Structure 1
Amino acid sequence: MNDQHRGRPASPETPEAALAELIAGNARFVAGTREHPHQDAEHRAAIAGGQRPFAVLFGCSDSRLAAEIIFDRGLGDLFVVRTAGHVVGPEVQASIDYGVDVVGVPLVVVLGHDGCGAVQAAQTALADAREAPAALRPVVDRVLPSVRQARARNITDSAEVAALHVRRTVAMVAQSPTIAAAAREGRCAVVGMSYRLADGRVTVEAAAGS
Structure 2
Amino acid sequence: MASNRRAFLAATAVAALAAAPASAAPADPLETTARPRPTTARAALAELLAGNRRYATGGSRHPDEGLLHRHALAAGQHPFAVVIGCIDSRVPPELVFDQGLGDLICIRTAGQVLDEAVLASIQYGVQELHVPLVLVLGHERCGAVAATLDHLRTGAPVPGHLELLVDEIAPAALRTRHLPGDWAEHTMRANTVWVRDAIRADSAFAAATVTAARFDLDTGLISVLP
TM-score past 0.5 threshold: yes
Q: 1:8 to 1:48 in 2, by over 3 A?
A: closer
TM-score by length of 2: 0.83
Name the counterpart of 2:212: 192
Pairing 1:143-158 to 2, within 5 Å after superposition: 143-153=169-179, 156-158=182-184
Supply the RMSD in Å over aligned alpha carbons. Answer: 1.7
Q: 1:82 to 1:18 in 2, by over 3 A?
A: same
TM-score by length of 1: 0.89
Decide which structure has the larger Cα Rg and report it: 2
Question: C-alpha separation between the residues in 1 aligned to 2:218 and 2:177?
Answer: 26
Question: C-alpha separation between the residues in 1 aligned to 2:125 and 2:32?
Answer: 24
Aligned pair 1:202/2:194, yes or no?
no
Question: C-alpha separation between the residues in 1 aligned to 2:209 and 2:30?
Answer: 26
Shift of 1:4: 7.1
Pairing 1:35-184 to 2, within 5 Å after superposition: 35-153=61-179, 156-179=182-205, 181-182=206-207
Shift of 1:135: 3.0
Q: Name the amino acid aligned to 1:168.
A: W
Q: Name the amino acid aligned to 1:124.
A: D
Q: Name the amino acid aligned to 2:86.
A: C
Q: Number of residues paired by the alignment?
A: 198
Shift of 1:128: 1.4
CA offsets 1:125-171 (integer angstroms, 9 cap, x no match): 11113332223111111111111111154564312321121111101
Q: 1:60 to 1:71 in 2, by over 3 A?
A: same
CA offsets 1:53-81 (integer angstroms, 9 cap, x no match): 00001100111111111100000000111
Out of 12, 34, 38, the residue aligned to residue 12 of structure 1 is: 38
Helix, strand or coil at the partner of 2:225: strand
Contact 1:38 1:74 in 2 (8 A): yes
Contact 2:31 2:68 in 1 (8 A): no
Q: Extract unaligned runs of 5+ from structure 2.
A: 1-28
Q: 1:141 to 1:104 in 2, by over 3 A?
A: same
Helix, strand or coil at the partner of 1:126: helix
Q: Name the amino acid aligned to 1:194.
A: R
Give the structure with the higher percent helix: 2
Contact 1:109 1:190 in 2 (8 A): yes
Question: Once the two structures are aligned, what percentage of the paired residues are identical?
Answer: 39
Helix, strand or coil at the partner of 2:214: strand
Question: C-alpha separation between the residues in 2 aligned to 1:17 and 1:156?
Answer: 33
Question: C-alpha separation between the residues in 1 aligned to 2:53 and 2:198?
Answer: 28
Question: C-alpha separation between the residues in 2 aligned to 1:19 and 1:131?
Answer: 40
